Amino acid sequence: MFDYSDSDQSRDEEISLAEARRPYQINLNTDNNEFFKINNANKCIIKKKKRKNIFFELLIPRIFILIITIIYIFIIAITFYSVENENEIKEDKYLKELIEITKRNLMAQLHNISPQISIDKLYEETNKFSNKLLEIGWKRGIKRMSINSTKQLNNNNNNWSFINSFLFSISLISRIGYGHLVPMTLIGKQLVFPFAIFGIPLFILIINDLTKIFSIFFHWIYKILIKYLKGIKQQIIKLFQTNKNKENEKKLERLNNKKYQNNYYCSELKSTTPSLINKTIQKELLLNKKEELIIN
């Protein structure tokens, strides 16, 4: 009479769909503890991933920029050392030769002068030659050169050593100004400008990154200090609470002792009052009897 084939097929389809969805559904009969454990584990994994991302995003690019700038500073130092040091050595040799020649000429002229000339005249002549020597030194830009041979032996160190050239390269990038070092050759003067164009932006980037790193570092220290202060506050509050609890316990003990004493005295009074009442009643009865007898 009735065709149930369509309804059976639809039921079978519904059952198959329900079975297919079962693995993706949350089993509500599971314990809450397991569910919270899974959530905590997921949170820990997310935190670790965030820390790794912060490490890769913040530190690695800044370290890369710092390495590039250090390499760039070494390149500048090597170039100025190779260019200026050789020129300085040549100028030192040339100036030493000039000083020796002027010394010999001075001694020869003084020897040729007759003894009839006064001392003042000789003093003027020697001053003229010494001024010429000083002018040569000032023109060449070497203030440390001296006529005395002992000072010359002590001042054999060159200005353009590798350390000084390294410091000059840092001052060139940072725009601080190292001081007495200045390139004297044409190649050195021409190289200052291009090195500064590429070096100053790198130095500004490093300062920018350092400000970010310092801000993160100080923020981290600030958090640690706040946590430490909160812990100290909690400890102080606990100490006050324990002291208050002890005081309250002592007060309760005192009150309990007083209540015990009061109860004891009340019980004694209760035990003694009936005997007293009986005695008073007996006395009153005796007095009444005596009065009746007297009246009769």
Cα of 266 vs its chain's centroid, Å:
73
Map tokens 């000059």 to a residue. 168
* Residues 273/279/281/284 CA torsion (nearest 10 deg): -140
What pLDDT was estimated at residue 149? 39
Question: Tokens 């009936």 belong to which residue?
Answer: 274
The torsion angles phi and psi of 295, rounded to 5 degrees, stand at -65, -45
**What's the Cα-to-Cα distance from 90 to each of 113, 140, 158, rounded to whole Å?**
35, 12, 11
Residue pLDDT tens, the chain, 296 long: 444 455 555 555 544 544 444 444 444 444 445 544 555 555 555 555 666 666 666 677 778 888 898 999 999 999 998 888 888 888 878 877 877 777 667 666 766 666 666 656 666 776 677 667 666 666 655 544 444 434 444 445 567 888 888 888 888 888 776 666 778 888 888 888 889 898 888 888 888 888 887 888 888 888 888 888 888 888 888 888 887 777 777 767 766 665 555 555 555 545 554 555 555 655 666 666 666 666 55
Determine phi and psi for 175, rounding to 5 degrees. Answer: 60, 30
Short-list 172, 166, 206, 205, CA closest to 191: 172
pTM score, whole prediction: 0.49
Q: At what angle do helices 60-112 and 186-295 cross, to 10 degrees?
A: 130
The pLDDT assigned to 17 comes to 47
